[in-house]
Chains A and B, each alone.
Chain A
Amino acid sequence: MKNTIKNIFAALLVLSLITACNEDFLDVNTDPNNPTSVTLDLALPVAQTYTASSIYGTGARHTNTIGNLYMYNWSQAYGFSWYLEEFQYLVAPSFYEQIWDYQYQNALKQYHVLDVEGEGTTNNYFRAISKIMKSFHFQVLVDMYGDIPYFEALQRGGNITPAFDDAEAVYDDLIVQLTTAIEMINDAGADAINPGNQDVMFGGDMVNWVAFANTLKMRILIRQSGMASKQAYIKEEFAKITSIITEDVAVNPGYINEDGKQNPMWSFYGYDVAGTVTLTNDATCATQYVLDFLTDTNDPRIDYLYERPAGGHLGVEQGYVVDSSFSADNVSNLGPGILKGFDQDAIIFSSSEALFLLAEARVRGYMSGDAKSVYDAAIRESFATLGATQGTYTGDADWNSKSKIEAIITQKWIALNGTNGIESWYEYNRTGFPSGLPVSNQSPQPDRPVRHLYPNSEISANASNVPAQKNAFSNKIFWAN
């Protein structure tokens, strides 16, 4: 018996030593649940759906919402306190800080994953897409905040407190990146991997990507067209632009009618999976000003931008207390041109906008050619995107009565209504058009803000680099001076 016990002891001792000395015993730290790397094509579509959400909303409000509110397109119905802070222009570090956070931590982070050098030209297409979309997002950030982290940004553990770069320097580098992207696409060899269906914007059609890159360049350059110091530079860069987009650039991975998988605009502003209208849809309505504007110009798009209620179009001016006659059923909520279905495309750059930019380029002499025909084409594209019939409507009245630039910008404001409010706000800051645009009744200042403040999230984690906050109502972004 004792011998057996002693043997058991020996066995236990040996056992513990064996497990101890086994190197493999400790080699169990590889996560079986989540991979440490994925092929670039699996990362790409997520970045693109992030882009769509960064415009239309994630459950929180993003650029399209605040843009439409600033540009007096939207208001709120009776019985809702939906847009209290927006009507008061309560621009503070916490105001819409999700825009900053989401653009950097979701969209830009994910696109940055794609910018990895591979062997030869295998990754050229991914790197090009990465640079193009990063430029898209960085422009949105500069236009909203001015100086932002750019050259040191997105390094994660490598630099958790990136320095802030001069806004104009960022803009210049965006043009460089877009040029590089176009070159990468053109230089790609047979070994270049094409993302195919995983590219949920263009399905792997790289010719369209080149056109999109050029269109973005155009936007960046036109934005600076008010700067005397940049005129020569702008002309030089315009000379390199060979093609622009001819159709709306949209993200659509195949949205379906399930929770979390619907088109973001639809899920936020439209209907839930069961078909019940969302509270945001009921809460959001037109302003009386924009309804009057569209009615006075006999613009058929009114019924597509806004849903005609049984009693006729009715809007609410921002910041006024109204009674129950302005309830959700009585006012003009968002229309079928903006809310088409759970599977609708999430437009990130419309062909209409591209054509308006081209028209302006021609008016300013950066590109040669007739501006009016492009202007008309832009308006036609807007009708097509909304699914509206143009009928006899034209932009001639504006073209003839206002300055050409004012006509272009004013028509662009109508075309971007509901789908790209933020761009109209940037253009308003640049040009002051459309003129006579009312301000919210609760505005603390004579005019709407011209920028946002750096958010708390950045300040608390990067205090030594964040510049002093500028005045949100008077200190314009560099291209507007």
Chain B
Amino acid sequence: MVFQVAIAQQTVTGSVSDEEGNLLPGATVVVKGTSSAVTSDFDGNFSVKATTGDILVISFVGFESQEFPVSGSIINAILASSNKLDEVVVTAYGVNRAKNEITYQTERIGGESVSSNSFTSATSALAGKVAGMQINIQSNGVNPSSKIILRGFRSISGGNEALIVIDGAIASKGAFDDLNPIDIESLNVLKGATAAALYGSNASNGAVIVTTKQGNNKSKFTIGASSTFTLEQIAYTPEFQTEYGTGWDGHYDPIENTNWGPRFDGVLRRVGPLFPVGTVLPEGTFATTPDGQPYQVLPYAPVQDHIKDFFETGESLQNTVYFRGGDSTSNIYLSLGNQQTKGIILKDTYNRSTIKLNASKQLGDVKIGINSNLLMDKTSEVGNSIGDQNREFYWFVVNTPANIPLKNYKNWKTDIYASPDGYFNAFYQNPYWAIDTNRSNSKSDRANGNAYIEWEAADWIKLKGQVHYNKFSSFSKNWRAEQDYDPVTQPYHSFVSSFVTDSEQQFMVYGYDFFADIKLDITEDFSMKALVGASSSVYTYRNSSLTAVNLSIPDFYDISNGTGELQGTVDEQTKNTYGYFTDLNIGYQDMLYLNLAGRYDYTSVLPSDENGYFYPSVGLSFILADKNGNSLIPSLESNIINYAKFTVSNSIVYNDSVGIFSINERFFQSSAYPYGSINGFYLGGTAASTDIKKEKLASTEFGLNLGLFDNRITLDASYYITKTSDLLTYVTSSPSSGSSSLLTNVGDLESTGLELTVNAGILESPNFAWDLNVNYSTSETTVEKLAGDTKNVQVSGPVYAVLGEAYPQLRTTSYERDPQGRVIINPNTGNPVIGELKNQGRALPKHIVGLTNVFRFKEFSLSTTLDYRTGHVYYSELADRMEFTGSSVESASSNRQDFVFPNSVVETAPGVYSPNTNIPITDGKMGYWQNHHNEIKENYVRDASAIKVREISFRYDLSKKYLSELGLSKLSLGIVGRNLITWLPEENRFSDPEFNNATTNGVGVGGYQQSPPTRNYGFSINVEF
């Protein structure tokens, strides 16, 4: 009898959790070498039959799989997350997919880099960190606004901004800016239309998928608090000339804002008006005319930083308290935040409070949850309709000649020199006066989020229904006080009328999404994941405002206080859309994946015979090498290459980017009417073509992802081509056609680009680590076709879509040049001939490079981010406007004398040019610059290249040893500086080329209405219990 001692199979039970103690349901437990496998249940527990000595391989998506030898009957596995590989990609509707399965390029940003470095808005945290992403800043006040652009522009009049999705539901850029950055868990950028096809037309420009923090299932409650204090200072002002001061046409003029006076000589000169005889002025500041009229005197010399010193140091304090907790079936995350900001302009303030609540509960197979964010804020800023010319504030600041120390004019109520009647400037008022007499105040609130039910109907299908909402409302009051002037001391100032405008705005988007998430293995080799669903969305907008003018009671700003007729408007908009979508992903042996997706959309803004459309996408993902799994070319795997994936995808997306109601030509009440009972309506200047079609985007993308040296170094590269056709554009029509613009489908754009991201762990040791992230992108959009014979379409101002050239393109009046490039002058005047509109260059960068270094030494870490943009130009509208005032450096370059235009020629016979050596320009003391140099707008187009040190942050995290002694689970202190250094080329001395006036696609024009660029320094502390 053979006696066998059979080693008994026992039941091994245990749990699978992550390093923080969160249990992982659905983790795979495999008995190595066998086909025996189980998955952990909802509580993260598992039970499997195994023998002592067997090895359990436990894995979960997003974590390093680990092996556990069986030696007892209980194994509690703790898995470490695999940060570098980022195996989980959050895609459309919050559905997770493994990185291998994704057939398009995405990039993930961990919440740490957004939340821990004390940013007030998440958008500014993204600058320089994602290949192919640009942040364009619209306004730089106490509550800045910006746009996120992925892969350049694809449309002329449609929006080009990326879609924002928060926690699986479509949200808006405003909702994203209103998130407290501390609440952000991670961001996933889906770069092209392909990636986002499932979201419909809204996502034709890519999408940023934001996931906010959830609670944990650890039955442990975490409380944390974070406090940040930041200072903001103006970084630089435009460079103005400092050789000539107040005056006109070469003569000194004590009341001018322009700088056409004589050369600075340091002598005391009169500044401002002559006061009446007997006026008492402060000792030592004045002189008197022979007949007894006193006047202020100042040395006629430039004052250093005369504009820079006007600005204050802004301060911002942010406090957040957060709670995180849960148990095995539920979790909750709650945060309360508050921010108080004082801006760099005196009396600009911004306060806001946010509440975030994310909670979910598992009831058997069903999970219900809610993700929500509430915000309330209050803003007070100086108004933008100042003086009798209704100008913006910054204009008054820059129109201060170089010899005037502007900050000395602060007390306009008590200081006679700063008072409205005594101010030196006869044409522009004292900015300090403007701050107190022109205000724009507003309050707003927002509620956005989603509520969902998920039901795991079977282990292969999960159904989810969600409602999403985004509601924003704001109320504002914009007022201006009346001002009268003494005609003797201020003969040139016109009466400033008072007004108050009360307005409110409401915007709401809500919708339903419903889908089924299916995972099925068709055969042993073929796996399938599918998403099938439907969604609908309703958008409503309402804006109303009332204005009363010429108020009777001073300081009482209410519309009941006006004389004359009340002006008012109401504007309402609605847009409804719905669609059906499906996404099918078929995998072969986990090394080859095919993805097919399609969507059918309906929209209310297109003509009813054109308002439904279908668009598909297809992609392939080839896993060429993978040490952790199957691969197509295993021989590629070596010590160097541990992972290689190649993707190719193609998609078609349609865009309903025509404005709401815009397909109809409409009449508007004329602003001058009614006169009594006579009412009048005019036909709008914009005509609409009768056969409007939707825009079409076809894009193809190739991608390569490499993991080297066991993912010590990863490289992601992608190359894309996108063709947009039937672009919906407002074409500028000729005035003689009776309209100013026509909405029609005009043409084609083609964009191509390349993106490269390298992440490298250069040094990795227990005490010291150095991680490097370099990202590079280049893109070019060219206009391939326009309607009929049109050669160019004006987008806004000098920004055009020019046939055959990069888009957007700046076009301005130019110098006429001979074939050798020399400037042609008019022999009668010596002035350069003013040439027609010429292309000046592209307005979006050709190359963007971002570099982030993170150094870690024990508990200290230092992170720096810098980026470089180049290959583009911008038109400085500020420089253009300021030419009239004689503050440009060019206008001082010739000693205000007539000069012979350098390297110029005269056309002596048709086509024959001879060098001009003796004919000078006319009126170099002023007229030439104002009337001639200023007409050649090419002079104001500058190289927009810039290198910026975006962020330097230094952090100290208290080590675990000390933390447990203090009873804390986390304590970190940080110092951060932002936008610390900016290098600009010699020729651009005006402002940050990233600042843009337009909220539309008119990028490339800047620096006139905003306040100047700033830098920030902050200190923060974060504690968790």
* Known contacts A28-B576, A100-B735, A258-B565; A36 and B666 CB within 8 A of each other: yes
Cross-chain contact of A1 among B364, B661, B687 (Cβ < 8 A): B364
A455 to B687, CA, bound (A): 21
Say yes or no: B366 contacts A5, CB within 8 Å.
yes
Contact check, B661 vs A29: say whether CB atoms are below 8 A apart: yes
Q: Are A104 and B789 in contact (CB under 8 A)?
A: no
Contact with B along A451-469 (1 / 0, CB 8 A): 0000111101111100000
Identify A256's interface contact among B363, B605, B675, B679, CB under 8 A. B675
Which of A6, A105, A254, A455 gathers most chain B CB within 10 Å?
Answer: A105
> At the interface with chain A, which of B301-309, B336-344, B566-574?
B566-574
How many angstroms from the CA of A157 to the CA of B673 in the assembled complex? 27
- Assess whether B676 is interfacial by the CB under 8 Å rule: yes
Q: Is the CB of A155 within 8 A of B738?
A: yes
Smallest CB–CB gap between A124 and chain B, Å? 21
Are A273 and B497 interface neighbours, CB within 8 A? yes
Cβ of B742 under 8 Å from chain A: yes
User: What is the chain B residue whose CB lies nearest that of A80?
Assistant: B492
Q: Is A461's CB under 8 angstroms from B453's CB?
A: no
The distance in angstroms between the C-alpha atoms of A17 and B570, with both chains bound, is 33
Q: Select A155's contact among B549, B578, B737, beta carbons within 8 Å.
A: B737
| Given A17-B534, A35-B666, A444-B828, residue A154 in contact with residue B737 (CB < 8 A) | yes
- Answer whether A2 and B738 are a contact pair too, CB < 8 Å, given A26-B603, A463-B791: no
Given A20-B536, A49-B672, does the pair A457, B734 have CB atoms closer than 8 Å?
Answer: yes
| Interface check A38, CB cutoff 8 A | yes
Contact A255:B675 (CB < 8 A) given known A28-B576, A36-B667, A273-B550: yes
A462 touches B455 (CB 8 A): no
A23 — nearest CB in chain B belongs to which residue?
B608
- Kindly name the residue among B365, B667, B689 whose own CB sees the greatest number of chain A CB atoms within 10 A: B667
Question: Residue of B at shortest CB range from A44?
Answer: B680
Whether B660 sits at the interface, judged by CB under 8 Å, is yes
B903 to chain A minimum Cβ distance, whole angstroms, is 24
Q: For residue B576, which residues in chain A have a CB less than 8 angstroms away from its CB? A: 25-26, 28
Interface size for B (C-beta < 8 A) is: 85
Residues of A within 8 A of B549 (CB): 258-259
- Name the one of B365, B611, B677, B690 contacting A26, with C-beta atoms under 8 angstroms: B611
Report B438-476 residues with CB < 8 Å from chain A CB.
453, 455, 463, 465
Asked, given contacts A104-B738, A198-B678, whether A279 binds B494 with beta carbons under 8 Å apart, the answer is yes
CB of B3 within 8 Å of the partner chain: no
Q: Given A8-B453, A9-B465, A29-B660, answer yes or no on A458-B734 (Cβ-Cβ < 8 Å).
A: yes
Q: How far is the CB of A139 from chain B (nearest CB, A)?
A: 15
| A148 smallest CB distance to B (angstroms) | 7
Tally of contact residues, A, Cβ under 8 A: 85
**B329 is an interface residue with CB less than 8 A from chain A:** no
A227 located at the interface, meaning its Cβ lies under 8 Å from any Cβ of chain B in the complex: no
Q: Judge whether A254 and B742 touch: CB under 8 Å.
A: no
Interface check B834, CB cutoff 8 A: yes
- Selected contact of B744 from candidates A43, A157, A159, CB within 8 Å: A157
The answer to whether A461 and B732 touch across the interface, beta carbons within 8 angstroms, is yes
Shortest CB–CB separation between residue B497 and chain A, in angstroms? 7
What 0/1 pattern do residues 140 to 167 of A give for CB contact below 8 A with B? 0000000011000111110111100000
Q: Closest A residue to B679 by CB, please name it.
A: A42
* A276, B364: Cβ atoms closer than 8 Å: no
Q: Which of B465, B667, B794 is within 8 Å of A38, CB to CB?
A: B667
* Residue of B465, B680, B682, B683 most packed against chain A (CB within 10 A): B680
Tell me the chain A residues, 355-381 only, with Cβ under 8 Å from chain B.
none
Any A CB within 8 A of the CB of B596: no
Name B550's closest neighbour in chain A (CB-CB): A273
Q: Bound state CA distance, A108 and B683, in angstroms?
A: 11
Q: Does B535 contact A (CB under 8 A)?
A: yes
0/1 interface trace, chain B 627-661, chain A, CB 8 Å (1 if under): 00000000000000000000000000000000011
Q: Does A249 touch B at the CB level, under 8 Å?
A: no
Q: Which residues of B contact A117 (CB under 8 A)?
A: none
| Assembled-state Cα–Cα distance A20/B512 (Å) | 11
Are B682 and A157 touching (Cβ within 8 A)?
no
- Determine which of B536, B664, B677, B737 lies in contact with A156 in the assembled complex, contact meaning CB atoms within 8 Å: B737
Please report the C-alpha to C-alpha distance between residue A42 and residue B608 in the assembled complex, in whole angstroms. Answer: 30
Q: Is the CB of B677 within 8 A of A33?
A: no
Whole-angstrom distance between the alpha carbons of A272 and B496 in the complex? 10
CA distance A268 to B603 in the complex (A): 47
Considering the complex, give the chain A residue whose CB is closest to the CB of B834: A92
> Would you call A36 and B736 a contact (CB within 8 A)?
no
In the assembled complex, the CB of A153 is this many whole angstroms from the nearest CB of chain B, namely: 5
Q: In the bound complex, do residue B670 and residue A46 qualify as a contact, i.e. CB atoms below 8 Å apart? A: yes
Contact: B732 with A46, CB < 8 Å? no
Contact among A26, A108, A278, A455 with B608 in the assembled complex (CB-CB below 8 Å): A26
Contact B680 A16 (CB under 8 A): no
Name the interface residues of A227-274: CB closer than 8 Å to any CB of B.
Answer: 253-256, 258-261, 272-274
CB distance from A82 to the nearest CB of B (A): 13
Closest Cβ of chain B to A4, distance in Å, is: 9
Question: Which residues of chain A have C-beta atoms less than 8 A from B224's C-beta?
Answer: none
Contact with A along B726-752 (1 / 0, CB 8 A): 000001111111111010100000000
B668 and A34 form a contact (CB under 8 A):
yes
Within 8 A of B (CB), among A431-445: 444
Closest Cβ of chain B: how far from A270's Cβ, in Å?
13
Tell me if B604 counts as interface (CB < 8 A to partner A): yes
Asked if B834 and A154 sit within 8 Å, CB to CB, the answer is no
Not counting A35-B666, A105-B735, A153-B736, a sample of 7 additional A-B residue pairs whose C-beta atoms are within 8 angstroms of each other reads A5-B366, A8-B465, A33-B572, A35-B681, A36-B667, A38-B681, A463-B791
Please list the 5 inter-chain residue pairs (A to B) with the smallest Cβ-Cβ separation, ordered nearest first.
A462-B734, A12-B465, A46-B680, A154-B738, A149-B736
